[in-house]
Amino acid sequence: MLSFIPFPALPTPPSWFPGHMNRFTKQLPALLSRTDVVLELRDARLPLTSINHNLERAIRKWRAERGRDASMITPPSASPTGPAIPGYGSAICERIVVLNKHDLVPEWGVEPFRKTMAARFPDQIVHFASCNKPRDIKTLSELLVNIAKTSPHATEMNVLVVGMPNVGKSTLLNSLRSRGIAGRTAKALQTSAQPGHTRTLSTRLKISENPLIYSYDSPGVMLPFLGRGEQGAERGVKLALIAGIKESLYDVEALVNYLLYRLNILDPVSPAYLKVLPEGSEPTTDVYVFLEQLAARLGMRVRGGDVDTARAAIWFVEWWRREGSLISASAPRSIGRRNPRVSQGDPPGCLDDATHYSLPIRRGWGFDFEWTVDAASSDSESKGNVEEKMGACIDTYMRMMEVQEELGGGVSQTQEKKRAWEEKLAKRKARLSRKNV
């Protein structure tokens, strides 16, 4: 078992904000004016990192314009179907946060996370879903239908789907349409494993006939700038791992280094990557040792017989997206258990049935939550304790984002220079127009 898991060195985050993202961001206020429900998708593995704070500001303004102050709203039920009524005000104005790819996070953290979010964000209905789980789609469809029925005099309800790139917006809408429309329905929206496939706002898509509900699919919008320092670097690597950012912008070895760190945090006793290493391998924090072992296990070699660690790195990231996430989602809440790969004769450094570390141990849920537990008490870590630790993580993250915004963390130096130049040109144009009058 790993008693110390060092944080890896990470590269400076790249900037990836194509023109279609900028255009949609400018269109968003006008779109919200004819929207009844905002359906925001996030990746369940990154419930905080996949928040787009530019969209947050636009949504807060939309709700304020409709008289939906968050302080006036009754907190939603802990039930996945949410509140029975749409809240304050006569017009429908709801926000549903869908944590997609529900099956890729450990189940033991779902309910504590839902309760933590309900306590801190009463204006949001949190729903966990996986597009390949019919029950999840059915529950979400019923939630939308129930909201539409709270306004019986409205002829239709319009839903706008927003979120970061590659969180599954188009796939979810196709699933909702198949659920809400009787008979066989053709695939209405094209999907892709690569980010940025949807580049324009879709035409209205009917997802329910009774009541009548329409939806728009929108382009995935990345943050114009991921932030400065370690926080910005970590945010970029996380989004690259879920294919939210173009892979070509990152060295794959940096992704493997961070992925190794996170899998060790999720399960320091028997991390998921042991499944693909040679028999008898131990957990490691050394990315070079790991890649050499993996390349040897896979038989990946370059001319001359040396192991091909570059090809092994690419294979590992793809394996994690395809299979490893499911394996890591089975990580138990308690960690005081024996590593099945450790023999009785192994020296200290591996946890057995009778031995516990006296040092604190880092634990986590998904890739956004990490906390310290005492090894001696890790077996009995309760749901209430997990909820408290998740709440502390959320509070810390939100404070960090507020500080970054105050310091201009949402804008890079290049963007600051561009804005200053645009302002200078605007002033020059205004002076020339006054002279010509």
Q: Which CATH superfamily is domain 19-217 in?
A: P-loop containing nucleotide triphosphate hydrolases (3.40.50.300)
Amino acid at 161: V
* For residues 199-225, average pLDDT: 79
129 — phi, psi (to 5°)?
-150, 155
Percent of the chain at pLDDT > 90 equals 40
Q: Which CATH number fits domain 229-404: 1.10.1580.10, 3.30.565.10, 2.120.10.30, 3.30.70.890?
A: 1.10.1580.10
Per-residue confidence band for 416, with pLDDT thresholds at 50, 70 and 90: low
Average pLDDT over the chain, rounded to an integer: 80
Percent of the chain at pLDDT > 70 equals 76
Q: Burial code of 138-160, b = ≥16 C-beta within 10 A, e = fewer?
A: ebbbebbbbbbeebeeeeebbbb
User: Is residue 221 within 8 Å of 167, Cβ to Cβ?
Assistant: no
Residue 170 Cα distances to 40, 201, 220, 221, angstroms: 12, 11, 10, 14
Same fold across 19-217 and 229-404: no
Please, what is the end-to-end C-alpha distance for the chain in angstroms?
78
| Token representation of residue 276 | 């693909």
Selected residue with higher pLDDT from 303 and 189 = 303
Least-confidence region, from 40-44, 154-158, 317-321: 154-158
- Whether 390 shows a pLDDT value over 90: the answer reads yes
- Whether 419 shows a pLDDT value over 60: the answer reads no
Q: For the chain, what are the domain ranges?
A: 19-217, 229-404
Least-confidence region, from 104-108, 117-121, 202-206, 394-398: 202-206
Summarize pLDDT for 306-323 with one digit per residue, the tens.
999 999 999 999 999 999
* pTM strictly above 0.75: yes
What pLDDT, on a 0 to 100 scale, did the predictor assign at position 357?
A: 46
Per-residue confidence band for 18, with pLDDT thresholds at 50, 70 and 90: low
Handedness of CA 25, 30, 31, 32 (dihedral sign): positive
